Amino acid sequence: PVAAFELVQWPPVDARPVAVDGLYDDLAAVGLEYGPVFQGVTRAWAKPGEVFAEVALPEQAHADAARFGVHPALLDAVLHASALGDLLPEPEPGRPFLPFSWSGVSLHATAATSLRVKIIGTGGTSMALTIADGSGVPVAEVEALTLRPLSTSDLVAAGDRGWLHQVGWTAIAAGTSTEVPRWAVLEAGAGLDSVAEAPEAVLVTIPSGGELGVVTREVLGLVQEWLAEERFASSRLVLLTCGAVVAVADEVPDLAQAAVWGLVRAAQAEQPGRLVLLDLDTDPLDADTVAQALATGEPQVAVRDGHLLMPGLNRTADRGEERSVFGSEGTVLVTGGTGGLGAVVAKHLAATYQVKHLLLASRRGTQAPGAADLAAELTELGATVTIAACDVGDREHLTHLLASIPPEHPLTGVIHTAGVLDDGIVASLTPERIDAVLRPKADAARHLHELTQDLNLSAFVLFSSLAGVLGSAGQAGYGAANAYLDALAHHRHAQGLAATSLAWGLWASGGMAGDLSETDLRRMERAGVKPLSIPEGLALLDTALHTDHPALVPARFT
């Protein structure tokens, strides 16, 4: 076999060069992310059914080469080259190809720091490898290597539950201060100029049952006015809500007030110590309870049956029974379905859940970049796909879209991934900017809920964000919209309707991460939020769909 080596003539005759600059970005997109030591493919060429490549260890790893027959990073890089050329079929979303079986392995030399490799496709996902050093001297042969797609559930089986969280509320002790804070109550409709002096706190009640847009615009204006008033620099504005959060089991939140919490959480991140969220379960106001809550110094407090509670994230350890979440003959609607996470999810539905009828809605429909290629991929996966231009924030447009679904394939599932970012500190926001963020995310979710609540859907999945749960500086509008989605899921759950809201952390690609600046990404990293790869995110989606919790937080924390 050694005599058969054909790697002395280099580059190989009649092979065309293949660009490798985007190889590791492409691998990351299907869930295989490699650090710098493992990104070893430097040059490549291809013929029909064959790939030739040069791979090398970075200099800092040379000292370790003698410890191995073939350094693991070098051998791994050899396998990366199989993704070039036409050797393998296109991987399904969340199912990257990884080695499954090896046979006929021969090692001829050790301690190489660079390699030449010839990979010959032998059918399906199998191949043969010939490996030499940088001068063509034989290093290794593999008569047969077979790759298999790795399922997302296998990939993250050990870690998905550790990255799936719920908001939990725990009791906190009342403040130890014996002095009752001085506060003023701001009457409805009154401006801050009606507060003659600057007390320790100014209390304002947010009315229940309000309309989302009206309530968020009013609260935005109030918060902006408060932060601009220098005389209140040492005071706290206390926003009193009633039932804005689900602090005990089976509560049904006020949707607009939930959005207030999402908005103000962002303002709290920007201006620590200036704002307090206090959610009560009684009306009228109980002065003693308010005094105890303010004395704790906590920025977010819920009062239930006289007990003070504070929010935190708890890991979700339980997983429900496996079940068919999406019927194969029904239609599943994916909003924002032609780009970002919408496209990733659509492919996952077709590949993993065998969904045969997909309706992808986006603002540009078939004119969206990549829409034609996406439709072709989904068709190859066995799905019938319709891509429609629809502003899901417009109730009339959405009504017409739903009416177009053929009765023989009725709507059985909704996945709402649509949304936009419009980052800016609270002081810079306008009502119009807030509305522009609420419309495609929160307004659309409300329309989807109202127009489908009588259809007995098997899945109603809302892609929310960690920004609505923890608060993210510069994302007040986005936080409001996503807190609304989490509350809507609780609202539907209380009605016995399918509901899963997922307050995603950061995705490495495919999500809103593409709209964030490097500064934003570094800030999230410093806050302990690590990106999820696409397979990791899809595995968390799968796990979440098999729980009975209406609102979950899939996020990877350091």
Q: Could you report the per-residue pLDDT of 138-193, keeping only the tens digit for each?
A: 999 999 888 877 654 544 443 444 789 999 999 986 554 555 568 888 876 677 87
User: What is the domain range of residue 398?
Assistant: 325-557
Residue-level pLDDT at 197: 81
SS3 assignment, position 430: coil
Q: What share of the chain is helix, strand, coil (3-state, %, to 5)?
A: 35, 25, 40
CATH label of the domain that carries residue 413: 3.40.50.720
CATH label of the domain that carries residue 63: 3.10.129.110
CATH label of the domain that carries residue 223: 3.40.50.11460
347 with 426, same domain: the answer is yes
364 with 419, same domain: the answer is yes
442 with 547, same domain: the answer is yes
pLDDT above 70 coverage of the chain, percent: 88
Judge if the upstream peptide bond of residue 199 is cis by omega within 30 degrees of 0.
no
Assigned domain for 159 exists: no
285 with 429, same domain: the answer is no
- Helix H or strand E encompassing 345: helix 340-352
User: Which band of pLDDT confidence, cut at 50, 70 and 90, is reported for residue 314?
Assistant: confident
pLDDT, one tens digit per residue, over 229-284 is 999 989 999 999 999 999 998 899 999 999 999 999 999 999 999 999 999 987 66
431 with 535, same domain: the answer is yes
506 with 378, same domain: the answer is yes
Q: Evaluate whether 345 touches 428 at the Cβ level (below 8 Å).
A: no
Q: Evaluate whether 130 touches 90 at the Cβ level (below 8 Å).
A: no
Specify burial of residue 1 (Cβ count, 10 A radius: 0-12, 13-18, 19+): exposed
Assigned domain for 157 exists: no
From residue 469, how far is each of 163, 232, 460, 535 by CA, in Å?
15, 27, 20, 23
Assigned domain for 18 exists: yes
Full DSSP string of 149-211: EPPHHHHTTTTTGGGEEEEEEEE-PPP---SPPPEEEEPTT--GGG--S--SEEEEEPPTT--
pLDDT, one tens digit per residue, over 456-503 is 899 999 999 999 999 988 899 999 999 999 999 999 999 999 999 999
Residue-level pLDDT at 512: 52
181 with 140, same domain: the answer is no
User: Which band of pLDDT confidence, cut at 50, 70 and 90, is reported for residue 323?
Assistant: low
Assigned domain for 158 exists: no
Instruction: Show which of 94, 123, 150 is a domain's final residue.
Output: 150
Assigned domain for 362 exists: yes
∠ at Cα 514 (512, 518), nearest 5°? 110
Counts of helices then strands in the chain (DSSP H, E): 15, 23
Residue that is written with structure tokens 């419309």 in the block: 439
Assigned domain for 155 exists: no
Instruction: Note if the pTM is more than 0.85.
Output: no
310 with 365, same domain: the answer is no
Instruction: Show which of 118, 150, 182 is a domain's final residue.
Output: 150
Q: Evaluate whether 76 touches 61 at the Cβ level (below 8 Å).
A: no
337 with 486, same domain: the answer is yes
Q: What is the DSSP letter of 532?
A: B
- pLDDT of 351 strictly over 70: yes
Q: How far is CA 438 from the centre of its chain?
A: 18
Assigned domain for 160 exists: no
Residue-level pLDDT at 193: 77
Residue-level pLDDT at 320: 58
194 with 145, same domain: the answer is no
307 with 234, same domain: the answer is yes
* Number of compact structural domains in the chain: 3
Assigned domain for 243 exists: yes
85 with 183, same domain: the answer is no
Mean pLDDT score, 92-118: 83
